[in-house]
Amino acid sequence: MSGSTLLKETGPREVFCGLTSIVWLHRRMPDAFFLVVGSRTCAHLIQSAAGVMIFAEPRFGTAILEERDLAGLADAHDELDRVVKDLLQRRPEIRTLFLVGSCPSEVIKLDLARVAERLNESLKGQVTVLNYSGSGIETTFTQGEDGALKALIPLMEPSQEEQLLLVGTLANAVEDRLFTLFKRLDIPKVASLPPRQSTELPTVGPNTRVLLTQPYLTETARCLKDRGAQIIQAPFPLGVEGSKIWMEAAAKSFKVSNSLVQTTLEPLVNRANEALKPYKNQLSGKTLFLLPESQLEIPLARFLLRECGMKLLEVGTPYLNKELMQSELDLLPENIRLVEGQHIEKQLDRVRHHSPDLVVCGMGLANPLEAEGISTKWSIELVFSPIHGIDQAADLAELFARPLHRHELLQKNNKLFAQV
Ligand code: SF4
């Protein structure tokens, strides 16, 4: 790595669990259904995180494990079979059913892989049943997507075709834009995982070059590599610089000429740098503390330091996959304090000690910190927002400038009230 100080910390954690990723995955693949096998707590989490869809049938639900199940008094397998049968009778349009494990299902050691195997036998031709874990015992919220994509990989047909595979959920509009740009770069075929329909999976093979759009897909990247795909090393497509290098890396792997890359990207870069200027003025010199939650922290820190002039006090990340993160780490200076893992009490002590201008953190920590007069940005918002690519750099910076602006306004108002 670059030489940044890497510290490891363990202790109490304050993060969302992997179930949260259903919020964006169910929007991405409307023909799939996510059935959480969990408790009422899990049902509350997913409902409040996703909002109740009042205009359409929801594409997620919870098979509630009752106390009887948890105590091992009832056969959870029979109950689950019954719930799945009812669901598919009501919703025959479902093509892929994800059984999503939770803390309770893990505690009672409910083997969802075996359940999925059994259901696949009985539902052959009607629906594909897959499983992954969203349990908060082991995962943070973005790892839910890693588990879901990993579960899809065995269904991908082998292929020798030369293609670029974008891996990680993007907003559809952002993905369309990137597809257009890669087409302009003469890249013969571009596909994406997850696809927009769960049944339209891309192929994979030795001529597939994987370009990760999100940094939290460690297991997915490993499984695609096992299927013969090549992983393109690049920083992640956040900000002008990261997105440009990301696209250049893809172009290089397809031997696209430098001149075509430059003529395609230069106008975008110039426009994006211009759009970034007002936010840079607002952010430059401000101090930033990133608490670990989404695994987006390192690319965000790199963008906010190098393109917006912010000062990094600490960059926390729940996990650090050095291989996938190497290109990011290379762009960070030597003296960055990088912390892998979490001891929430110690981290909050450091936040209070430094009193940063802005803290990136989970929703549960934001309100208490705001009450102490510290501006915050929810890390989960960065996963829901269309922030990828050169064109989106100003929007990304604006997400950080907004809380600072609000803080300034509040301070002004407080001063005015004090004078009255
Ligand atoms: S999976 Fe675990 S952490 Fe997530 S809502 Fe259910 S009980 Fe809570």
Q: Could you list the pLDDT tens digit for every one of the 420 residues in the chain?
A: 455 678 999 998 888 899 999 989 998 999 999 999 998 889 888 887 766 444 455 777 888 777 666 666 567 788 888 899 999 999 999 999 999 999 988 888 889 999 999 999 999 889 999 999 999 887 788 999 999 999 999 999 999 999 999 999 999 999 999 999 999 999 999 999 999 999 999 999 999 999 999 999 999 999 999 999 999 999 999 999 999 999 999 999 999 999 999 999 999 999 999 999 999 999 999 999 999 999 999 999 999 999 999 999 999 999 999 999 999 999 999 889 999 999 999 999 999 999 999 999 998 899 999 999 999 999 988 988 999 999 999 999 999 999 999 888 888 777 777 776
User: How far is ligand 1, taken at its centre, from the CA of residue 87, in Å?
Assistant: 22
CA distance 199 to 183: 24
Q: Does domain 275-419 have CATH number 3.40.50.1980?
A: yes
User: How far is ligand 1, taken at its centre, from the CA of residue 324, in Å?
Assistant: 28
Helices (H), 6-156: 22-28, 40-50, 67-70, 76-90, 103-107, 112-122, 143-152
Query: 113: which residues sit within 8 A by CB, 6+ positions away?
Result: 131
Residue 41, ligand 1, Cβ within 6 A = yes
Residue 144, ligand 1, Cβ within 6 A = no
Query: Can you give the pLDDT at residue 407?
Result: 87
Residue 339, ligand 1, Cβ within 6 A = no
Half-sphere exposure of 36 (CA within 13 A, CB side): 31
Residue 294, ligand 1, Cβ within 6 A = no
CA distance 206 to 314: 39
Query: Can you give the pLDDT at residue 87?
Result: 92
Which numbered atom of ligand 1 lies nearest the CA of 41?
A: 5
User: How far is ligand 1, taken at its centre, from the CA of residue 268, in Å?
Assistant: 42
Residue 313, ligand 1, Cβ within 6 A = no
No. of helices (H) and no. of strands (E), the chain? 17, 14
Sheet holding 5-9, edge to edge: 5-9, 337-341, 311-317, 287-290, 358-361, 375-378
Residue range 163-260, CATH number: 3.40.50.1980
Residue 101, ligand 1, Cβ within 6 A = no
Query: Can you give the pLDDT at residue 363?
Result: 87
CA distance 242 to 74: 52
Residue 226 to residues 150, 234, 235, 391: CA-CA distances in angstroms?
11, 20, 22, 33
Give buried/exposed letters for 218-237 (b at 16+ CB in 10 A, else e): bbbbbbbeebebebbebbbb
Three-state DSSP class for residue 205: coil
User: How far is ligand 1, taken at its centre, from the CA of residue 249, in Å?
Assistant: 38
Tell me if 18-139 shares its fold with 275-419.
yes
Q: Is the dihedral of CA 84, 85, 90, 94 positive or negative?
A: positive
- Does residue 194 have a cis peptide bond before it, meaning omega lies within 30 degrees of 0? yes
Please report, as a single letter, which amino acid is at residue 208.
T
User: How far is ligand 1, taken at its centre, from the CA of residue 31, in Å?
Assistant: 25
Query: Can you give the pLDDT at residue 48?
Result: 78
Q: Among 305, 413, 384, which Cα is nearest to 28's?
A: 384
Residue 110, ligand 1, Cβ within 6 A = no
CA distance 175 to 156: 20
Q: Does domain 18-139 have CATH number 3.40.50.1980?
A: yes
Q: What is the largest CA-CA distance in the chain?
A: 74
Whether 305 and 280 have beta carbons less than 8 Å apart is answered as no
Residue 369, ligand 1, Cβ within 6 A = no
Query: In the chain, where are the structural domains located?
Result: 18-139, 163-260, 275-419
Query: Can you give the pLDDT at residue 59?
Result: 79
Within 53-212, strands assigned E span 60-64, 96-101, 128-133, 163-167, 190-193, 208-212
Quote the tokens at residue 156. 């991908």
User: How far is ligand 1, taken at its centre, from the CA of residue 18, in Å?
Assistant: 8
User: How far is ligand 1, taken at its centre, from the CA of residue 72, in Å?
Assistant: 19
